[in-house]
Amino acid sequence: MNASDQELVSQFTRAHSEDAFALLVNRYLNLVYSAALRQVRSPQLAEEVCQSVFTNLAYHAPKLKPNTVLTAWLYQVTRNAAIDVVRREARRQEREQIALQMSQMHTDPSEWTQIEPMLDEAMRSLDDAERTAILLRYFENKSLRDVGQALGTSEDAAQKRVSRAVERLRDYFSKRKITVGASGLVALVSANAIQAAPTGLATTVAAGALTTSAALSTATAVAVTKTIAMTTIQKTIITTLSALAAGAIIVSVYQAHKASSLREEVQALKQQQQVSLNAQMQELQRERDGATNALAALAAENAALKKNPPDVAKLRGEVGRLRMEKTSLGSTSALSKVTANAAAKKMLRDQQKLGMSMIYKGFAQQLKLTEQQTDQLNDLLADHIMNNVDHVTAVLRDKLTPEQMNELFTTQDAALHAQLQELLGQDGLSQYQDYTKNLLSTLTAEQFKGMLSGNDTAKQEKVKQLSQVIQSTVQDALTKAGLPADYQLVPTLNFSNIASEQEGERNLKLLDDIYQRATAQAGSFLSPEELIKFKQFTTTAISNNRAALALNRTMMAPIGN
């Protein structure tokens, strides 16, 4: 007997069962994909909506009430996600172009083609119970008995509710000059509302949703616009995402939580990530062991066949091939293994772009960049991270010296600056460098704002003062440490910290010193209670970033290390 939705959700939330979550994705993917496609009018964007919806499910699953009708919940989340995508796309295109594309897509005069573009808006006009009844009855073809059970009512009452909902849908279409009978409308919706999602999408969506959910287990990434790239618990930006399945560079933020709760949540996240990492490492180890065994067997055969030169030459060639295969497997990282899949790599890059757009939103506003310029800026920053991920992998794989490592990252920075100068001009590049140099002070103060007391004006003044204190402390600390003024102190944005454990510890120690000195100076404008909160904030920042750096280093290191 098939498990119920509630049973699968319970298995997923209690035991972190990926199989249970995959069953939920397979069960509802066609519903979500079809609803998304009707609204965004693009298969690629519909797949993006699916990823967003099931990521939301993975994140919100522990909070769902036992009587939640998952069909209705997913449908509403799909609606919201599709609206966000449509609005985003509308900003990128002229209205005339959108209208032309839409008109070209609706050349079929059939009743369904007339109804389809309006169906989800019509569904929105229904109340929650009516919408749920239609979804269960005609989108999922449930019996009236099942509908009644889901709604907590009788079969007869369910029939009446469905009938009323159908009439309201007919009225909606009638007002828009589309006349269709009740039976005809029911037949059209039942036959066409659900389409098969693309082959393989379920696997991609399930993996992506679990990946993002693991990194966002205490986060609300969509809502984060002012973020500090140092701690994780309640809000998180992913600049390089593949935490559960591939590894991540996590740019994180913190809001008030008890220290014990913080430690528990961080530990849970690390355990989830480690389980997946261990599975991947075991798989790669098996592949490498297989190559090792084959190599040993061929070497033995080589020794036995030395008297037959033609066979020996052939065998030596095979031995050489297997040695190369073994070396290749041993130098593969968990991250590169997963991102060999094009879809996973694209998701990784898209998440980086999202993270950078949030971190550099203030910079784009400061320069008054156009939407096109802002998009180009975020593309450059996302590609910059992707390139640096490759560089980190190379440093760990080839065991480069500190000098070689610094040259690698310096060259990459120079390439980015050249591209930014071409996009923004010399003055724009200078402002970018200043903004980046001050990320620690700006983002720390802005994120801590939510933990301050007083009205908005008072909070903003404290934010300004805290930012100035941290900024002056940073410059003094860098000078004493003999580091350049543009040294990046945000731990997970400084790729040397991932490539070298020693560099990472130096950064964290310096950051801790800066925070302690800033705390001492902030006593002139923060209350005693606010100072306590700030100390907790900074302590958590150091702890979580140490864990994030270690995780990323593990994920980017060769499996054979």
pLDDT of residue 418: 95
Q: Determine contact, residues 368/424, Cβ cutoff 8 Å.
A: no
Beta bridge partners of 333: 558
Please give the share of the chain, as a percent, with pLDDT higher than 90.
Answer: 29
Q: How confident is the model at residue 214 (pLDDT cuts 50, 70, 90)?
A: very low
**What is the DSSP annotation of 158-176?**
HHHHHHHHHHHHHHHHHTT
Instruction: Quote the mean pLDDT of the chain.
Output: 76
pLDDT of residue 265: 46
Residue 42 DSSP code: -
Between 95 and 198, where is the model more confident? 198
pLDDT of residue 467: 93
d(C-alpha 321, C-alpha 325), whole Å: 6
Through-space distance between the first and last CA atoms of the chain, rounded to whole angstroms: 46
Between 312 and 226, where is the model more confident? 312
Cα atoms found within 13 Å of the Cα of residue 57, Cβ hemisphere only: 39
pLDDT of residue 139: 87
**H/E segment holding residue 405:** helix 402-437
Q: Determine contact, residues 17/11, Cβ cutoff 8 Å.
A: yes
Determine the Cα angle at 57 with ends 56 and 59, to 5°: 65
Q: Determine contact, residues 232/250, Cβ cutoff 8 Å.
A: yes
Q: Give the amino acid at 457.
A: T
* pLDDT > 70? residue 106: no
d(C-alpha 118, C-alpha 116), whole Å: 5
Q: How confident is the model at residue 547 (pLDDT cuts 50, 70, 90)?
A: confident
* pLDDT > 90? residue 140: no
* pLDDT > 90? residue 514: yes
pLDDT of residue 208: 56
Can you tell me the mean pLDDT for 194-199? Answer: 70
Collapsed DSSP state (helix, strand, coil) of residue 554: helix
Residue with tokens 């496609």: 37
| Rg, the chain, Cα only | 28
* pLDDT > 60? residue 250: no
Q: Determine contact, residues 163/133, Cβ cutoff 8 Å.
A: no
* pLDDT > 90? residue 88: no
Pairing of strands 249-253, 235-240: antiparallel
Can you tell me the mean pLDDT for 295-322? Answer: 57
**What is the DSSP annotation of 300-352?**
HHHHHTTT-HHHHHHHHHHHHHHHHHHHHHHT-BHHHHHTTSHHHHHHHHHHH
Query: Of 90-99, 142-151, 396-405, 467-476, where does mean pLDDT reach its minimum?
Result: 90-99
Collapsed DSSP state (helix, strand, coil) of residue 44: helix
Q: How confident is the model at residue 301 (pLDDT cuts 50, 70, 90)?
A: low
Determine the Cα angle at 185 with ends 86 and 49, to 5°: 25
pTM of the model: 0.49
pLDDT of residue 515: 93
* pLDDT > 80? residue 459: yes
d(C-alpha 467, C-alpha 434), whole Å: 14
* pLDDT > 60? residue 315: no
- For helices 155-174 and 182-192, the axis angle rounded to 10 degrees is 100
pLDDT of residue 32: 92
Neighbours of 520 (CB within 10 A): 12
Query: Of 117-126, 217-226, 490-499, where does mean pLDDT reach its minimum?
Result: 217-226
Can you tell me the mean pLDDT for 216-221? Answer: 34
Token pair of 321 as six digits:
């091939």
**Coarse DSSP helix, strand, coil percentages of the chain, rounded to the nearest 5 percent:** 75, 0, 20
pLDDT of residue 309: 54
pLDDT of residue 246: 27
d(C-alpha 352, C-alpha 362), whole Å: 17
* pLDDT > 50? residue 134: yes
Determine the Cα angle at 246 with ends 3 and 552, to 5°: 135
Q: How confident is the model at residue 242 (pLDDT cuts 50, 70, 90)?
A: very low
* pLDDT > 50? residue 252: no
Cα atoms found within 13 Å of the Cα of residue 64, Cβ hemisphere only: 24
Query: Which residues, other chains included, contact 106 with Cβ-Cβ below 8 Å and sequence gap of 6+?
Result: 113, 114, 117
Query: Of 160-174, 189-203, 331-345, where does mean pLDDT reach its minimum?
Result: 331-345
pLDDT of residue 483: 92
Residue with tokens 């369910």: 158
